[in-house]
Amino acid sequence: MSEEGRLERLTSMMRRRGIVLPSFEIYGGVSGLIDYGPVGARIKRRVVESWVDHWTSQGDVVEIDSPSITPKEVLVASGHVGEFNDHMSECISCGGIFRSDHLIEGSHPNPDSISGREIDDVISAEGVTCPNCEEFNWNPAKPMNLMFPTTIGAMKGGREAYMRPETAQGMFMLYPSLYRHFKQKLPFGALQTGRGYRNEISPRQGMIRLREFNMAELEYFIDPEDPPTGDIGEWGTPVELVPDPEGGSSETHRITFADALEKGMIKHPTVAWFLARTWDFLVGIGIDGSKIRFRQHTSTEMAHYASDCWDCEIFGEYGWIECVGIANRTCHDLESHEEHSGTNLLRGWRQYSEPVLVKREVLSPIGSVIGPIFKGKASDVSDALSGLEEIPGNLPFSIDIGEGDIVEITSEMVTRRVEEVNVHGEWFTPHVVEPAFGIDRIIWHVIDHAFNESGKDGEEYTILSLDERVTPFDVSVLPLFDKDGMDELARHLASEINSIPGIRADIDTSRSIGRRYARADEIGVPWAITVDHTSLEDGTVTVRRRDDQMQIRAPMEMVIEGISSRSLNGMF
């Protein structure tokens, strides 16, 4: 079948078979919101489960789950509010786009916090002209924040909040608990899957750019002075890398991860490790390895929080689409949350291999002297003395005890001595390497790559060649005829298969057997078990393999065992 119209046939099939459909369709639909139907939801669940399994099997990664509703302060600290809450004004005459608050600076007491309409009023009232072409010809200011605002609590007491634009902040919020869980030893990671919300200006391309979408993010906390490397030598297959063109070499390379790291194309060993593990995951759920490439971000497109970033792009009906972002977020988030929240719990302890003996000169306050002299201020004086970076050579001297209050310290008030302490380590802010997966985009490409229209016996025929890990059903049970006891036996068999943990059987009794095979093939069910007259006599059934329509006959118990151990292939 020709490639022309393939996208339409694929999306039609997905609608018709209940994989992915527009949401709220009886009310006209909402762009950027989709439903997973009965078949799609199962595929999605299995993709997500495969993802969680893939990373948690590493041993030092755990799963968490945090709220979608996020107080504003968190997103202020993360930078999402500041970076994305601006109104933009567009000049109709020259097409220039400017931050509205910059245009009206000086004309309004608080240009940061007013509505678009107010901005336009101020621009009109003040006759602000375009900095570029001097014209006065503005489009209405458009808010550029892509977060959905909401309020926690009712009425006046409400607290400002947003629907989370990423799940990552949840992992940062839980850092102290994770640090305890991992016995205060780095590196470790935490992941979560869930919804993220971005009020896209113009969602397009079906399920590629959504307003509410499924993310799967992993934050891996490391000591920047001792970054974990992993053995990336295992990945012998060359992959396609597109390094940052500003870094000198812009052409695509086919190169192994190990070589790319050695040559400096991938800058960070932990990032290289995650690139390789990401490759594994994608290929493992059925993405075509020849349609994967990794592209390094240029400094201009880098997120506000990242220092080095690679996109994993997958090729499909929409061209190359970013499906995974792997970023070295450094200490940006933890440091910023420490600063904004005032906590000091977002750190790691770096134990020295040898304790370091540190000699330190101190002036220790003599309480019996300082107390009576300074009374209520005495403890401030003591704190100021112990906080001194440098000990003055001569007494008396003046010291600031806070809020500009300066007092004089005389030699009677203090004892000068030298402290010797063994320092065993130091606190530092961990760095974070983050692989962030767009689950919906990955599901799209899994289905796209599996959508096989190559036909059968010269006729049009479609098979969804999904990997067994992500099929909607493990097996379809089909009574050859829906009567004469075959129906009952089939139902019995289906319920037996369904009682195996993690295995789902579908039963299909209507219309001809060929048609039912076709229906199962179309949504990627890998095995079909047919109950026929012989089954009633000797308890054997036929097992049909989706990908080559090969068929064998075997006793039911053996088939059930084969399904349970996922070893049906061995029977062919």
Interacting residue ranges for RNA, rule: CB under 7 A: 8, 11-12, 15-16, 22, 28-32, 80, 83-84, 97, 139, 142, 144, 146-147, 165-166, 198, 200-206, 209, 301, 303-306, 318, 325, 456, 459-462, 480-481, 510-515, 517-519, 521-522, 530, 532-534, 541-542, 544, 549, 551
Instruction: Output 78 or 429, the one with its CB closest to RNA.
Output: 78
User: Please, what is the minimum distance in Å from the beta carbon of residue 348 to RNA?
Assistant: 24
Instruction: Output 104 or 480, the one with its CB closest to RNA.
Output: 480
> With contact defined as beta carbons under 8 Å apart, do 91 and 98 qualify?
yes
User: Please, what is the minimum distance in Å from the beta carbon of residue 564 to RNA?
Assistant: 21
CA distance 59 to 49: 16
Instruction: Output 7 or 258, the one with its CB closest to RNA.
Output: 7
3-state secondary structure labels for all residues of 293-340: EEEECCCCCCCCCCCEEEEEEEEECCEEEEEEEEEEEECHHHHHHHHH
Instruction: Output 32 or 524, the one with its CB closest to RNA.
Output: 32
User: Please, what is the minimum distance in Å from the beta carbon of residue 478 to RNA?
Assistant: 8
CA distance 280 to 308: 21
User: Please, what is the minimum distance in Å from the beta carbon of residue 262 to RNA?
Assistant: 28
Strand duo 414-428 + 188-197: pairing: unpaired
Instruction: Output 126 or 460, the one with its CB closest to RNA.
Output: 460
Q: Which sign, positive or negative, has the C-alpha torsion 154, 160, 165, 170? A: negative
User: Please, what is the minimum distance in Å from the beta carbon of residue 480 to RNA?
Assistant: 5
- The DSSP symbol for 113 reads G
User: Please, what is the minimum distance in Å from the beta carbon of residue 42 to RNA?
Assistant: 18
Instruction: Output 237 or 512, the one with its CB closest to RNA.
Output: 512
CA distance 449 to 443: 10
Instruction: Output 196 or 365, the one with its CB closest to RNA.
Output: 196
User: Please, what is the minimum distance in Å from the beta carbon of residue 571 to RNA?
Assistant: 15
Instruction: Output 185 or 511, the one with its CB closest to RNA.
Output: 511
Instruction: Output 369 or 518, the one with its CB closest to RNA.
Output: 518
Instruction: Output 381 or 478, the one with its CB closest to RNA.
Output: 478
Of 233, 235, 272, 266, nearest in space to 249 by CA: 266
User: Please, what is the minimum distance in Å from the beta carbon of residue 494 to RNA?
Assistant: 15
Burial class (CB in 10 A: 0-12, 13-18, 19+), 410: exposed
CA distance 463 to 451: 6
Query: What does the block give as tokens for 215?
Result: 């993310």
CA distance 428 to 426: 7
User: Please, what is the minimum distance in Å from the beta carbon of residue 260 to RNA?
Assistant: 22
> With contact defined as beta carbons under 8 Å apart, do 145 and 76 qualify?
no
Helix H or strand E segment including 34? strand 34-36
User: Please, what is the minimum distance in Å from the beta carbon of residue 170 to RNA?
Assistant: 14
> With contact defined as beta carbons under 8 Å apart, do 475 and 506 qualify?
yes
User: Please, what is the minimum distance in Å from the beta carbon of residue 362 to RNA?
Assistant: 46
Residue type, 239: V
CA distance 212 to 27: 18
Instruction: Output 244 or 532, the one with its CB closest to RNA.
Output: 532
CA distance 384 to 382: 5
> With contact defined as beta carbons under 8 Å apart, do 197 and 148 qualify?
yes
Helix H or strand E segment including 400? strand 397-400
Cα 92 to Cα 45, 96, 118, distances in angstroms: 47, 8, 19
Instruction: Output 95 or 289, the one with its CB closest to RNA.
Output: 95
Cα 113 to Cα 118, 119, 141, 143, 146, distances in angstroms: 10, 10, 13, 11, 16
User: Please, what is the minimum distance in Å from the beta carbon of residue 198 to RNA?
Assistant: 3
Of 184, 191, 172, 181, nearest in space to 51 by CA: 191
Residue located via tokens 């799967």:
216
Residue type, 425: G
Query: What does the block give as tokens for 473?
Result: 């059903």
Instruction: Output 35 or 83, the one with its CB closest to RNA.
Output: 83
Q: What three-state secondary structure class fits 135?
A: coil
Instruction: Output 265 or 306, the one with its CB closest to RNA.
Output: 306
User: Please, what is the minimum distance in Å from the beta carbon of residue 22 to RNA?
Assistant: 6
> With contact defined as beta carbons under 8 Å apart, do 293 and 242 qualify?
yes
User: Please, what is the minimum distance in Å from the beta carbon of residue 12 to RNA?
Assistant: 4
> With contact defined as beta carbons under 8 Å apart, do 224 and 267 qualify?
no
